[in-house]
Amino acid sequence: MKVKPPFPYDLFVAPLFTVMTAFILMIGMVMGEKIEFNVSKYGASSGKSSTTLLLCADGTVKMKGKVIEEKELKKLVKNKRVLVEWEKGVALEDYAAFLMKIKRYGGIPVMSTGR
């Protein structure tokens, strides 16, 4: 003997699961936006000025095509958000050491994708 549900499954339960899944995904997207917003406290909207530096494969540091010396670098990164890009051929250890140097000089290092 086959038992039939008291309601049509195809018309009620299957769309309900679809709506619930979409609702859960929407909640996840909204929470993801909130998390991303909180992580970006050092972003441009925080009021901190920012600088972009390029770490070259030969060990030099450039900003807008100009090579930056060590003493200029100290003044340049003080209390700023510093986005550090790197050229192809820069070792990961050198990149990490440069990020720590920026932190030591009082800047806020922000990792970037390579060039």
Q: Please report, for the chain, the start and end positions of each structural domain, with discontinuous segments joined by +.
A: 9-41, 43-111
Q: Are 56 and 87 in contact, with CB atoms under 8 Å apart?
A: yes
Which of 32-36, 39-43, 106-110 comes out lowest in average pLDDT?
A: 39-43
Q: 56-91, pLDDT tens digit by residue? A: 888 888 888 889 888 888 888 888 888 888 888 888
pLDDT for res 34: 57
SS (H, E, C) the chain: CCCCCCCCHHHHHHHHHHHHHHHHHHHHHHHHHHHHHHHHHHCHHHCCCEEEEEECCCCCEEECCEECCHHHHHHHHCCCEEEEEECCCCCHHHHHHHHHHHHHCCCEEEECCCC
User: Of 3.30.420, 2.30.30, 1.10.287, 1.10.40, which CATH number belongs to 43-111?
Assistant: 3.30.420
The per-residue pLDDT for 37 is 47
